[in-house]
């Protein structure tokens, strides 16, 4: 889906992401472009037509990081609604958030990510995060 198609959409856009843990730490990626450029978020992206949520999150993680993952559960959905200066909906994403593990390998950078870090969930307040991310990671951590 093009960036233009994501702005002022006619309906909400379905996406999937994952709180990916290894040795008690969660993988966060620093966004390379808007929206949220410079903020840390979970790997994930838009679900393609005919793709299941789990297949979408596996594909997105592979594309963004090169990692293979094990999905261990569904955390919850998270909605991102952004309005412009006159109140029109500029972006509306409904994100299915999973929890899982990645046993080996290190994430490789892509055009979407400036950096990766395996972060201690108890120190997320020290990082610039996308809205609601600390609560999502806490909920995911409780499911391990």
pTM: 0.94
Residues 6+ apart with CB under 8 A from 10: none
Token readout for 104 is 């080996």
Per-residue pLDDT tens digits for 20-43 = 999 999 999 999 998 899 999 999
CA 131 centroid distance within chain: 11
Domains assigned to the chain? 14-142 (3.90.79.10)
Token readout for 135 is 């609560």
Q: Say what the pLDDT of residue 34 is.
A: 84
pLDDT band at 117 (very low <50, low <70, confident <90, very high): very high
* Strands of the chain, DSSP E: 13-22, 25-31, 40-41, 44-46, 70-83, 89-101, 113-119
Q: Is 45 helix (H, G, I), strand (E, B) or coil?
A: strand
C-alpha–C-alpha distance, residues 43 and 45, integer Å: 7
Q: Say what the pLDDT of residue 4 is.
A: 67
């Amino acid at each position: 889906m093009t960036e233009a198609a994501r702005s002022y959409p006619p309906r909400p856009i379905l996406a999937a992401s994952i709180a990916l843990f290894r040795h008690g730490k969660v993988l966060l990626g620093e966004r390379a472009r808007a929206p949220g450029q410079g903020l840390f978020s979970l790997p994930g992206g838009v679900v393609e037509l005919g793709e299941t949520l789990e297949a979408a999150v596996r594909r997105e993680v592979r594309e963004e990081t090169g990692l293979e993952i094990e999905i261990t559960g569904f955390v919850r959905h998270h909605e991102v609604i952004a309005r412009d200066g006159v109140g029109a909906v500029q972006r509306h994403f409904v994100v299915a958030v999973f929890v899982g593990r990645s046993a080996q390998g290190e994430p490789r950078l892509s055009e979407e990510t400036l950096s990766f870090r395996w972060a201690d969930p108890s120190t997320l307040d020290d990082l610039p995060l996308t809205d609601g991310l600390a609560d999502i990671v806490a909920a995911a951590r409780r499911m391990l």
